[in-house]
């Protein structure tokens, strides 16, 4: 009788350990995160919509102890503007993501070199994925925005995970002759 109880007890413990291991493997591993829950940055430059452009830099954090393989980075919506030079900035010299308004198409030097977003890359453990883009006013009134940057990555089990940064980077023509205005409404 004691031998039977030992076998049942050992089997129960083994089943519980197997179930715990299965649950650990089925729960998605943590991936990229973003501290930005909802942010808007916009720029107004001059009166001519054709001269309005801005560069934005935004980031996603990898707080895990392992690298995360990123498969794609894309905007959720592009409205009324053109998104040019959308890329990854591996080593920017700035630690302050945001918007740089300019009438020059050259990337701000503090954003550093960039690689195409469709190249596929790994974000190392305890580091940051920096995304840059050049927003240029489109036709019409020149007002528009890029919203919701979406990153799709692969977890350690090969499953896809997406994280969306709910931010908007917008442009609009100046109405009062001001050179630029940040955190403005209506874009």
Q: For residue range 44-100, what is the model confidence (pLDDT) as tens digits?
A: 665 554 557 788 888 999 988 989 999 999 999 998 888 888 988 888 888 777 788
Q: Where are the chain's structural domains?
A: 1-28, 39-172
In this prediction, residue 74 carries a pLDDT of: 93
Strands 53-62 and 98-102, by their bridges, are: antiparallel
Half-sphere exposure of 68 (CA within 13 A, CB side): 30
pTM of the predicted structure, to 2 decimals: 0.73
Second-level CATH architecture of 39-172: Sandwich (2.60)
* DSSP conformation class of 29: P
* DSSP conformation class of 91: S
In this prediction, residue 151 carries a pLDDT of: 92
H or E segment at 151? strand 144-154
In this structure, are residues 161 and 153 in contact, taking their beta carbons and an 8 Å threshold?
yes
């Amino acid at each position: 009788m004691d031998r039977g109880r030992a076998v049942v007890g050992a089997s129960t413990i083994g089943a519980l350990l197997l179930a715990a291991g299965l649950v650990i493997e089925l729960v998605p591993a943590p991936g990229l995160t973003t501290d930005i829950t909802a942010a808007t940055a916009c720029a107004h430059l001059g009166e001519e919509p054709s001269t309005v452009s801005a560069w934005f830099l935004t980031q996603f954090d990898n707080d895990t102890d392992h690298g995360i393989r990123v498969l794609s980075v894309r905007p959720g919506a592009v409205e009324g503007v053109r998104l040019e030079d959308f890329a990854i900035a591996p080593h920017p010299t700035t630690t302050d993501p945001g918007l740089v308004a300019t009438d020059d198409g050259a990337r701000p030097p503090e954003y550093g070199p960039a690689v195409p977003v469709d190249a596929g890359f790994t974000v190392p453990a305890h580091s940051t994925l920096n995304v840059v883009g050049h927003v240029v006013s489109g036709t019409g009134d020149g007002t528009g925005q890029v919203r919701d940057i979406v990153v799709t990555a692969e977890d350690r089990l090969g499953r896809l995970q997406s994280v969306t940064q709910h931010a908007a980077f917008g442009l609009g023509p100046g109405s009062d002759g001001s050179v630029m205005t940040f955190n403005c409404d209506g874009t």
